[in-house]
Amino acid sequence: MMRFVVRRLLELVVVFLGVTFLIYAMVFALQGDPIAALAGDRPLPDSVVRVLRARYHLDESLWQQYLRYLGGLLQGDLGTDFTGRPVSERMASRWPTTIVLALTAWLLEVLVGVSLGLWAALRHGRLADRAVLLGTIVVSSIPIFVLGATAQLYLGVRWRVFPVSGTQDGWPMGFLLPAACLAVFGLAAVSRLMRGSVIDAMSSDWVRTLRAKGLSPRRIVGVHVMRNSGIPVLTFLAVDLGYLLGGAIVVEGIFNMPGIGQLLFAAIRAHEGPTVVGVSTVLILIFLVISALVDITNSLLDPRIRRDR
Amino acid sequence: MQHPHRRRRRAAVVAVAFALALTGACSVPAGDEPGSEESGGAQPSASSGTQPGTSLVVAESEPGDLNPGKQITAYDQVMALYTSLTDVATDGTVTMAAADSVTSDDATTWTIKLKDGWTFHNGEPVTSSSYVDAWNATAYGPNAWANSGQLAEIAGYDDLNPESGKPTTDTMSGLAVVDDLTFTVTLSAPDGQFPLQLSQAQTGLFPIPESAFDDLDAYNLQPVGQGPYMMTEPHQENEDITVVAYDDYAGTAPLTESIVFKNYADTSTAYNDVLAGNVDVAGVAPAKIATAMKEFGDHFYANPAPGIAFLGLPLWDERYDDVRVRQAISMAIDRDTINDVIYGGQLEPATAFTPPTEPGTPEGVCGEWCTYDPTKAKQLLEEAGGWSGEMVVTYPGGFGLDELYKAYANQLRQNLGIDEVTTKSTADFAEFAELRADAKLEGPYFSRWGALYPSQQNTLRAFFVPGGGGGCTNCSASQPDEVVDLLEQADGQVDQDAAIALYGQAQEILAEQLPIIPMFYEKYMFVTSDKVSDFPSSQGSPVWSQVAVSS
């Protein structure tokens, strides 16, 4: 077991180094000088550009820049953006919004997704099942910016059910609509995953045995089936939390929520290497840690995973 | 998996160029021309005094730096907090604002007298040192303040920005304090347009109080100006900025008691919030004009701005050498129809090389070469020997320019009978700028300029003087010597009429040679809530202090 954990953590380090370098290299490779682009189409004087390039080490090679960055990172320093603000500070002011948004969306996925999936599975093959299947396909195939903009126009502007934008209404009203738009895709996946596992379990030998022993259907589903079919769904939900925390660029944009996604988007547009890499690094870390945890937990729950290695 | 952060990164891009161009104006009308000192309200709405309890909510993007010497995306906020020395109205009238007079005999040495009785929001009196110190700090190379270039003509600027190494001084030799309210500015070359350069959007020329220099980082978050509005607390990233009327303001009192500048990342979200009544003013992206006109009626505003859109020509490609080819391209494009179809008729087809809000713009100078005539266009192209090969119309992607450039391409294809006209958009502006700088664009291309100070000098320099705009992101690929000479002569005139005559001559040469094709005079577009009863503008931007709201 210990070997598995160590191995998994070593993998994490390698992936982390590889991915941060890749992102750094990609931002570096973007065409155009980020300092010259600072002022849009209004050129900055040469002397200003020169000082700023030196100040943010843009005159160094990719390797020098990356190693300097990595050095800072190991000391917990995420660097500064091109106006001198520390990236960690800029992120700190945005985490609350993103975390609340992600958790709200996640909660919706859990509650609605699991219940829908269970409900459909228990009515396997009937109209309700088909309706859930069709509904989730339709909703999750709408591009999120269409969904978000439409929801905002009708529920926000026309019918005034939810605020149009911003977080000033607080939780839950200010977060429900964007969270719902964000949750739609994961929700569809969760419900279908849940449906599939429950159907599998319901037709398994051990459920037949339980039935034969005279257990009530309620107890069979509520205790035994749920526990067994929960593993794939929980795995998915855990990984999905990582994605949700990854910042919902489109949804945060449409609903004007000052979160991590907006920061990342603005930084990409401005070719702001340190911010893009800083934000991505933290997101990658979150994602890697969550998936490592999931793998380790799964291996604890299911010895077969350990043996495969 | 279609998880949001893997999805379209560019979905929410609406119009950076457009937003960047929203350089506004905070005009405090007074007097009639440089040198006079008469004052009086010129805005039609200027009723007396601030209406208690009134407030205005304005959609903005995150402002970034607020120090006027550094800001590049906070024009509206900064112009509400400061008053410029001079003001140029939309019709080109130059008036004195914070300055009492700006005079010169030789266009090289300028004497600026300040109006008496002006104070900063912290009570400090505004003196000539407030300007001299601010300008020295803004120009000082190692500070790397973005608006440093606005001071580049002052004698001694180069000493603060040496080619390499640290400057040996931190003051410009061209600035001298005469007394508390008078200082002189010596330029490195004569420039009669200097009074216009002191106008509302050149924030690098705003004053900074002495106390600010103790902690410039704090000043960047809470700038203390001498304008109609003041900030009461430091700006925090992501938070709205609320400014309130400054009781001791020495200019025309603002009408609305407070203005909230609310941050939006996406202009269509801001638009929706105006529809819902949560926000009072928002800019409108060009793609949304038709919808906005329908949904807002009287509360849709298209303000003439000091911006002009051209179609650039890749003159490094010899197929464009013959002037008849260039004329044919210009005459094959139906500006009126494009304007009606794409912009709801709100823009204005250009007939000169500068926008009409710049004093003395010779409208119509482009004449028949800027008038749609497909028959003559085709004939000119044939006379020039026809066309062979591809013509790739190129523009920066992500700014909502697709429709416009596809329309140009279609008209060139149809009206000139060139089959191989295609369009190409770059990933973003930075990529476009690089291709332009390296002369690697393969056809007519995006070109525009929004002038920070409304003088023909500014627009013509940006396109036709080598290094004139500080770079060549937008400039014309050909910069005829005679045009450069005429512009230099014009700059040397103290008398504005003489300068205008010379700028006009330069434009006549441009019309003959057509190195770049005038397309549209730009306008800045806004929608307001019903609450806004009067929405005056100057040079395209709202005059925030004179916007009137009911209740």
pLDDT at B41: 36
8 Å CB contact of A39 and B72: yes
Decide if B356 is inside a domain.
yes
Classified as helix, coil or strand, A59 is: coil
pLDDT tops 70 at residue B441: yes
Is B5 at the interface with chain A, CB within 8 A? Answer: yes
Tokens representing B137 are 């700090």
Whole-Å CA distances, B148 to B142, B207, B452: 11, 14, 13
Nearest to B63 by CA among B50, B77, B53, B51: B77
How far A215 CA sits from the closest chain B CA (Å)? 39
pLDDT at B16: 31
Rounded CA-CA distance A1/A307 in Å is 10
Q: For the ranges A80-84, B305-309, B357-361, which has the lowest average pLDDT?
A: A80-84
Residue A157 carries which DSSP code?
A: I
For A:50-79, CB contacts with B below 8 A are 51-52, 55
pLDDT at B471: 57
The model carries a pTM of 0.85
pLDDT tops 90 at residue A203: no
Residues 6+ apart with CB under 8 A from A155: A161, A162, A177
pLDDT at A306: 61
Among the partner-chain residues A55, A240, A254, the one whose CB lies closest to the CB of B144 is: A55
Pairing of strands B537-538, B541-542: antiparallel
Residue to mutate among B1, B2, B3, with most A CBs inside 10 A, is: B3
What number of C-beta contacts closer than 8 Å exist between A and B? 181
For B:222-251, CB contacts with A below 8 A are 236-238
Decide if B380 is inside a domain.
yes
Is B437 at the interface with chain A, CB within 8 A? Answer: no
pLDDT tens for B271-292 read: 999 999 999 999 998 888 999 9
For A:213-272, CB contacts with B below 8 A are 240, 243, 246-256, 258, 261-262, 264-266, 268-269, 271
Best-predicted range by mean pLDDT (A47-51, B166-170, B226-230): B226-230
Decide if B448 is inside a domain.
yes
8 Å CB contact of A93 and B433: no
List chain A residues with CB under 8 Å of B278.
163-165
Residues 6+ apart with CB under 8 A from B480: B464, B509, B510, B513, B515
How far A274 CA sits from the closest chain B CA (Å)? 17
Is B318 at the interface with chain A, CB within 8 A? Answer: no
Is the sign of the CA dihedral A153, A154, A156, A158 positive or negative? positive
pLDDT at B398: 82
Residue with more model confidence, B22 or A43: A43
List chain A residues with CB under 8 Å of B446.
none
Q: Which helix (H) or strand (E) holds B496?
A: helix B496-513
Rounded CA-CA distance B55/B243 in Å is 10
pLDDT tens for B130-159 read: 999 999 999 999 999 999 999 999 999 999
pLDDT tens for B3-41 read: 333 333 222 222 333 333 333 333 333 333 333 333 333
- Report the Cα B237 to chain-centroid distance in Å: 25
List chain A residues with CB under 8 Å of B17.
40-41
Is the sign of the CA dihedral A243, A246, A249, A251 positive or negative? positive
Nearest to B274 by CA among B83, B485, B78, B59: B59
pLDDT tops 60 at residue B333: yes
Whole-Å CA distances, A277 to A205, A273, A283: 51, 6, 10
Would you tell me the crossing angle of helices A114-122 and A127-140 to the nearest 10 degrees?
Answer: 150
8 Å CB contact of A40 and B20: yes
Q: Which residue of A has its CA nearest to B459?
A: A42
Rounded CA-CA distance B522/B20 in Å is 13
Is B427 at the interface with chain A, CB within 8 A? Answer: yes
Q: Which residue of B has its CA nearest to A280?
A: B5
Rounded CA-CA distance B480/B471 in Å is 17
Residues 6+ apart with CB under 8 A from B316: B439, B477
Rounded CA-CA distance A186/A248 in Å is 13
Neighbouring CB atoms inside 10 A of B341's CB total: 13
Is B153 at the interface with chain A, CB within 8 A? Answer: no
CATH architecture of A94-270: Orthogonal Bundle (1.10)
Q: Which residue of A has its CA nearest to B430?
A: A32
Residues belonging to chain B: 551
Cis peptide before B34 (omega within 30 of 0): no
Residue with more model confidence, B409 or A18: B409
Is B429 at the interface with chain A, CB within 8 A? Answer: yes
pLDDT at B515: 96
Rounded CA-CA distance B355/B357 in Å is 6
8 Å CB contact of A250 and B146: no
Residue to mutate among A42, A169, A290, with most B CBs inside 10 A, is: A42
Burial B417-446 (b: 16+ CB within 10 A, else e): ebeebebbbbebbbbbbbbbbeeebbbbbb
pLDDT at B156: 95
8 Å CB contact of B265 and A265: yes
Classified as helix, coil or strand, A246 is: coil
pLDDT at B30: 34
Q: Which residue of B has its CA nearest to A259?
A: B238
For B:83-102, CB contacts with A below 8 A are none
Rounded CA-CA distance A254/A121 in Å is 35
Nearest to B343 by CA among B291, B308, B299: B291
Rounded CA-CA distance A226/B108 in Å is 86
Stretch A4-11: mean pLDDT: 84
Decide if B181 is inside a domain.
no
Say if residues B399 and B12 touch (Cβ distance below 8 Å).
no
pLDDT tops 80 at residue A180: yes
Say if residues A101 and A304 touch (Cβ distance below 8 Å).
no
How far A87 CA sits from the closest chain B CA (Å)? 12
Domain extent for B494: 304-524
Rounded CA-CA distance B33/B551 in Å is 36
Decide if B539 is inside a domain.
no
Rounded CA-CA distance B166/A308 in Å is 64
Q: What is the 3-state secondary structure (H, E, C) of A212-232?
A: HCCCCHHHHHHHHHHHHHHHH
Say if residues B127 and B114 touch (Cβ distance below 8 Å).
yes
Decide if B483 is inside a domain.
yes
Q: Which residue of B has its CA nearest to A189?
A: B1
What is the DSSP track for A92-133?
A: HTTHHHHHHHHHHHHHHIIIIIHHHHHHHHHTTTSHHHHHHH
Nearest to B28 by CA among B152, B118, B111: B118
Pairing of strands B256-263, B51-60: parallel
Tokens representing B72 are 């590049």
For chain A, give the mean pLDDT. 85
Classified as helix, coil or strand, A18 is: helix
Rounded CA-CA distance B454/A280 in Å is 42
Stretch A1-8: mean pLDDT: 80
For B:177-206, CB contacts with A below 8 A are none
pLDDT tens for A249-304 read: 889 888 988 899 888 888 887 777 778 888 888 888 888 888 888 888 777 776 66
Residue to mutate among B60, B261, B269, with most A CBs inside 10 A, is: B269
Stretch A175-190: mean pLDDT: 90
Nearest to B473 by CA among B429, B414, B422: B429
Residue A243 carries which DSSP code?
A: H
8 Å CB contact of B72 and A38: yes
Among the partner-chain residues A157, A247, A265, the one whose CB lies closest to the CB of B275 is: A157
Work out the percent of chain B whose per-residue pLDDT is above 90: 79
Q: Which residue of B has its CA nearest to A97?
A: B238
pLDDT tops 80 at residue B537: yes
Decide if B425 is inside a domain.
yes
Among the partner-chain residues B237, B270, B449, the one whose CB lies closest to the CB of A93 is: B237
Is A28 at the interface with chain B, CB within 8 A? Answer: no
Among the partner-chain residues B17, B162, B272, the one whose CB lies closest to the CB of A41 is: B17
How far B274 CA sits from the closest chain A CA (Å)? 9
pLDDT at B399: 84
| Residue B450, domain CATH | 3.10.105.10
Rounded CA-CA distance B163/B148 in Å is 15
Residues belonging to chain A: 309
pLDDT at A291: 82
Reported as a pLDDT band with limits 50, 70 and 90, residue A247 is low
For A:82-121, CB contacts with B below 8 A are 83, 85, 90, 93-94
Classified as helix, coil or strand, A80 is: strand
Rounded CA-CA distance A155/A151 in Å is 6
Rounded CA-CA distance B271/B280 in Å is 10
The HSE-up count of residue A12 (CA atoms within 13 Å, CB side) is: 20
State the Cα torsion B523-B529-B535-B538 to the nearest 10°: -30
Stretch B331-350: mean pLDDT: 95
Please, where are the H alpha helices in chain A? Answer: 2-29, 34-37, 46-55, 62-74, 87-92, 95-108, 114-122, 127-140, 144-151, 173-202, 205-212, 217-219, 226-245, 249-254, 260-269, 273-301, 303-308
Residues 6+ apart with CB under 8 A from B394: B423, B424, B425, B426, B432, B435, B441, B442, B443, B444, B445, B446
> Where along chain A do its domains lie?
1-77+272-308, 94-270
Instruction: Specify the number of domains making up chain B.
Output: 1
pLDDT at A190: 92
List chain B residues with CB under 8 Å of A253.
11-12, 265-266, 269
Stretch B326-355: mean pLDDT: 96
Stretch B125-129: mean pLDDT: 97
Is B268 at the interface with chain A, CB within 8 A? Answer: yes
Rounded CA-CA distance B216/B222 in Å is 10
Rounded CA-CA distance A52/A55 in Å is 5
Q: For the ranges A10-24, B106-120, B157-171, B467-481, which has the lowest average pLDDT?
A: B467-481
pLDDT at B470: 52
Say if residues B196 and B86 touch (Cβ distance below 8 Å).
yes
| B159 burial type by CB count under 10 A (0-12 exposed, 13-18 middle, 19+ buried) | middle
Decide if B262 is inside a domain.
no
Residues 6+ apart with CB under 8 A from A213: none
Q: For the ranges A198-212, A244-258, B49-63, B102-116, which has the lowest average pLDDT?
A: A244-258
